[in-house]
Structure 1
C-alpha cells in the first residue's frame, strides 16, 4: 500500500478522466501547473482530507482572515458568486488535490498573488462513498 506524504497533492483517477473530458489534452496554464504536482490514485484510496471535484471546503484568506465556503466544480456548474468555483479557474486549479491545512495560491487577473488556507473539508464525495458522480 502506498503511503502518502503530508505535502503531496493527489488526484483521483475519475477526476483526471473528468478533466480530460472537459479539456481534451489542452489544459489552462494554471491547471497544467497543478497537474504536474499531482499524483493519481484510485478514487477508493483518496484520503478524506483531500480536495476532489465537488468537495466543499472552508478557506481562510491569509491577508484578510475572511473565511468562505467554496465548492470545486465543473465549468458548467460554476457560480462564483455562490461559491461554486470551476476547476478550470486559477482558484479551482489551486485547490484541486490539496489537503486540509495546505495553502493554495493563485494569481488574480490583476496580477496579485492570492493565498488561502484550506481550513475544513465539509464534504468530499469519495468520503461519502460516491466514487462515480
Structure 2
C-alpha cells in the first residue's frame, strides 16, 4: 500500500500482540502478516503517553468506509474476544487497518478478494489509556 499514514501503538499492546503472534493458535490466521507489517512500521509509546485520539486495543471507535459511505461503531479487540456484538478483531483486515490510526486519518486497505476499502477515523469514543486503564 502506498502513502500509509503514521500510526502509534502502546508498548503494552505491542507486547500482547507479539505474544499472540507466537501462539500456535493465531500464527496461521489469514491477514496476520498484514497486522505484523503494520506493527513493524508503528511508533511505539508508553500507555501513559498515547494521545487520546489514537486507536489502541479495546478502543471503541467510529469510522467510515469512504468507498461506499458506510459508517460503523466498533470496539477493537483481541481475536479471542471477537464475535461479541459491535467488536472487530485486530486480526481481521479492518481491525489491522484501524490499529494505531488517529481521528481524521484515512487508510486504503485491501481485503480478501482484492477489494479496497478507504477507512477514515471519525472519533475515538472510548480509549482505555485515556481513562487510566492500562491492564485490560
Normalised TM-score (structure 2): 0.85
CA contact (8 A) 1:11 1:41 kept: yes
Map of 2:10 onto structure 1: 12
Whether 1:109 aligns to 2:112 is yes
CA contact (8 A) 1:30 1:89 kept: no
Map of 1:87 onto structure 2: 90
Q: CA RMSD in A?
A: 1.7
Q: Gaps (5+ residues) in structure 2?
A: none
41-50 or 23-32, which moves further after superposition? Answer: 23-32
Map of 1:34 onto structure 2: 38
The runs of 4+ residues in structure 1 deviating greater than 4 Å are: none
> Any idea what SS the aligned residue of 1:94 has?
helix
1:36, CA displacement in angstroms?
A: 2.4
C-alpha distance in structure 2 between counterparts of 1:23 and 1:61, whole Å: 28
Q: Match for 1:61 among 62, 65, 85? A: 65
Q: Gaps (5+ residues) in structure 1?
A: 1-6
What does the per-residue CA deviation read over 1:11-54, in whole Å, with 9 as the maximum and x for residues that have no partner? 10100011012112858211122112201100000000100000
> Any idea what SS the aligned residue of 2:109 has?
strand
Whether 1:99 aligns to 2:99 is no
CA contact (8 A) 2:63 2:120 kept: yes
C-alpha distance in structure 2 between counterparts of 1:35 and 1:127, whole Å: 21
What number of residue pairs does the alignment pair up? 126
Q: Match for 1:129 among 123, 127, 132? A: 132
C-alpha distance in structure 2 between counterparts of 1:23 and 1:32, whole Å: 8
1:116, CA displacement in angstroms?
A: 1.3
Normalised TM-score (structure 1): 0.87
